[in-house]
Structure 1
Amino acid sequence: MKPIVTITLNPAVDLTIEVAGLVKGGVNRAERSQTNAGGKGVNVAGCAADWRGQVTVTGVLGRGNDGAFVELFAVKGISDKFIRVAGDTRTNIKIADTAAGETTDLNTPGLTVDADCLARVTAAAREAAKGGAVVVIGGSLPAGVAPDALRPLVATLNGVGADVVADTSGAPLKALLSGTGKELPYAVKPNRHELEELVGRPLPDFKALIAAAEEIVQGGVRLVVVSCGEDGALFVTAGEKLSARLPRVEALSTVGAGDAMVAGIATALAEAKPLEIIARQAVAFAAAKLRRIGPHLPELALVEALADQAEITRL
């Protein structure tokens, strides 16, 4: 397996609070709460490490409250190359309604990242990815980082032979996909809403989603994965199109399921798997993650069994 590197420029401490039936505007008594190191790239790294991947993380953390991150990386054997700056990493609150099977997110602003800090992150990622690695760039951009900042970052990583998977949205994704050649990632993973925002039109069915994904592939991206919630996901390359889905899984928490899907994609790419196996692994990681809180997979035998059960349809 190739090494896996994740970049999280706007990580968060995730505070998950479980309630059995959320009462809006009223008093809610929590059944339990849990604090985890979070952020898309951190979540991807945790799941990839559970798959026994060789994982390095970088990005920007506040020195004031990095304890949860340090502990997570130590427990999972993840190489910590995060850049520390003054201040605290933001806290995001996740209210998990166990009765409704729904999660409400309250995301707070992050740290401000200047050009020097971004350059240090780029250097750390480049060093970790030397000789070829799968690099996941995940999440939103913090204050101080321009929407087009991912283009030179991706170009730097492509220059050392990395396969870059980008999981971002909005203006940063649009700016990234407006690049050419060495500025383009190997793969992107928007969800249905993010893809609609990107192309500027409704995408009501699989046919419309596939057409939009094909436009991105024609622009030079090798793989587009569109996550569609309970409907599974679409996987589109220049030569293949398929869907993958699993039966509905009872969710303890939906937080991080999309990140787990990216971890499934990244680990399968690191193992040089064909598209069908990438698809099976991606939906299996996502479904397995629904049963856990925090950036963790259950036992690998369960993940492998889910991958075998995935329904694959060639389109």
Structure 2
Amino acid sequence: MATAPRIITLSLNSAIDQTITVPGFALDSVNRVVATQTDAGGKGVNVACFLAHVGHAVALAGLLGRDTSALFTRHFAATGVTDITVHVHGATRTNLKIIDPDGGSITDLNFPGPGVSTADVDAVLRSMERAASGGLDWLVLSGSLPAGLPSSIYAELTTWGQKQGARVVLDTSGAPLADALAARPDIIKPNQDELEALVGSPMSDQDAVAAAAGRLVADGIGLVVVSRGPEGAILRDRHSAWLAVPPDVPVASTVGAGDAMVAGLVHAAIRGLPLNETARQATGFALGALGEIGPRLPDPDRIEALARQVTVTPLDVG
């Protein structure tokens, strides 16, 4: 008998990720596509599939456009994710990523999705309540919000998850992130740009990032993880702060790297790893995604090998 999922990831603004490879891509020019790949995506979708990839029972809640739902249904069946999504009128949005292997550039074109209503979110919440009836350990809230929803939705869902006894992970930006802080999610994972927008000031070095993360921890956030691209990530909780610096690896695509880090954080927490090893594990997951075209991870042994190459050092936070 299959294990009932005790992890729910939420994707209110899923996407069809279309990745095209165009050597020498240039604006105002005829470009030749040499390869194309279409994947079911969106941050919550990616986190769910990555967690299932390393052996966790996970359910994916959220909204999908009926016109394009078949792609997602096939993907969930192939990856072992329990599908508890709600289908709405229209098509799920498309994100187009143009990869130029000659110039080393990656260009994103993100389309809007169908407008939704709070009634649609109520239907999602009912599906989550049914899935959580046997207990819920983790709730992962990821991604932007579709048009028509108030920015307070993630704050409300954070409170709901906590009432179920779950630890809540939040990976979003802008007003939805700012509004949700009052509900004190257990883990947040902004990148540096998102953190700067949140606190309203630029940060010139890692000490400034660690200090800003520390202020959020002091306000009641259990763990703040700030991703900084090739410079690594800073993790800070109530007891310590760590810098995780990845090795220099070839980048096939950046699709899903941040979502892989979120999955790595949850995976490490379930394994009971200390914060320094959590930093190593989460960065290893992100590195694994960087080596794949589209939102994918290599096999778990490869992820572990990448994690062992991550340099983790403590930060002096006073």
Band the TM-score falls in, shorter-chain normalisation: over 0.9
Specify the code of the residue in structure 2 equivalent to 1:76.
T
Equivalent residue for 2:44? 41
Percent identity among equivalent residues?
A: 45
- Comparing 270-279 with 21-30, greater Cα deviation is found at 270-279
Equivalent residue for 1:251? 251
5 Å-filtered alignment, 1:125-140, equals: 125-130=128-133, 131-140=135-144
The verdict on how the C-alpha distance between 1:257 and 1:101 changes in structure 2, with shifts beyond 3 A counting, is farther
Structure 1 gap ranges (5+): none
5 Å-filtered alignment, 1:10-21, equals: 10-21=13-24
Q: 1:215 Cα deviation (Å)?
A: 1.1
Match of residue 27, structure 2, among 24, 30, 40: 24
Match of residue 146, structure 1, among 123, 136, 150: 150
Alpha-carbon separation, structure 1, partners of 2:102 and 2:6: 40
Q: 1:272 Cα deviation (Å)?
A: 2.7
Q: 1:70 Cα deviation (Å)?
A: 0.7
The verdict on how the C-alpha distance between 1:263 and 1:249 changes in structure 2, with shifts beyond 3 A counting, is same
Q: Which has the higher contact order (CA 8 A, sep 6+)?
A: 1
Q: 1:29 Cα deviation (Å)?
A: 0.4
Equivalent residue for 1:187? 187
CA contact 2:7–2:136 (8 Å) conserved in 1: no
Alpha-carbon separation, structure 1, partners of 2:283 and 2:275: 12
Equivalent residue for 1:166? 170
Alpha-carbon separation, structure 2, partners of 1:71 and 1:277: 34
Q: 1:193 Cα deviation (Å)?
A: 0.4
Equivalent residue for 1:221? 221
Alpha-carbon separation, structure 1, partners of 2:10 and 2:179: 18
Match of residue 5, structure 1, among 4, 8, 15: 8
CA contact 1:242–1:313 (8 Å) conserved in 2: yes
Equivalent residue for 2:180? 176
Corresponding pairs, count: 311
5 Å-filtered alignment, 1:1-315, equals: 3-130=6-133, 131-177=135-181, 179=182, 183-315=183-315
Q: 1:132 Cα deviation (Å)?
A: 3.1
- Comparing 210-219 with 100-109, greater Cα deviation is found at 100-109
Alpha-carbon separation, structure 1, partners of 2:310 and 2:42: 27
- RMSD of the TM alignment (CA)? 1.4
SS of the residue 2:152 aligns to: helix
CA contact 2:18–2:96 (8 Å) conserved in 1: yes
SS of the residue 1:166 aligns to: strand
CA contact 1:94–1:104 (8 Å) conserved in 2: yes
TM-score where L is the length of structure 2: 0.95
CA contact 2:14–2:63 (8 Å) conserved in 1: yes
Structure 2 gap ranges (5+): none
Q: 1:24 Cα deviation (Å)?
A: 1.4
Q: Deviations over 1:56-101 (max 9, x none)?
A: 1010001111122111100011100000111111111111111233
TM-score where L is the length of structure 1: 0.95
Alpha-carbon separation, structure 2, partners of 1:62 and 1:97: 30
CA contact 2:140–2:169 (8 Å) conserved in 1: yes
Q: Deviations over 1:199-254 (max 9, x none)?
A: 00011100100111011111111000000100110000010100112211101111
Alpha-carbon separation, structure 2, partners of 1:60 and 1:293: 25
CA contact 1:189–1:224 (8 Å) conserved in 2: yes
Specify the code of the residue in structure 2 equivalent to 1:135.
L
Q: 1:140 Cα deviation (Å)?
A: 0.4
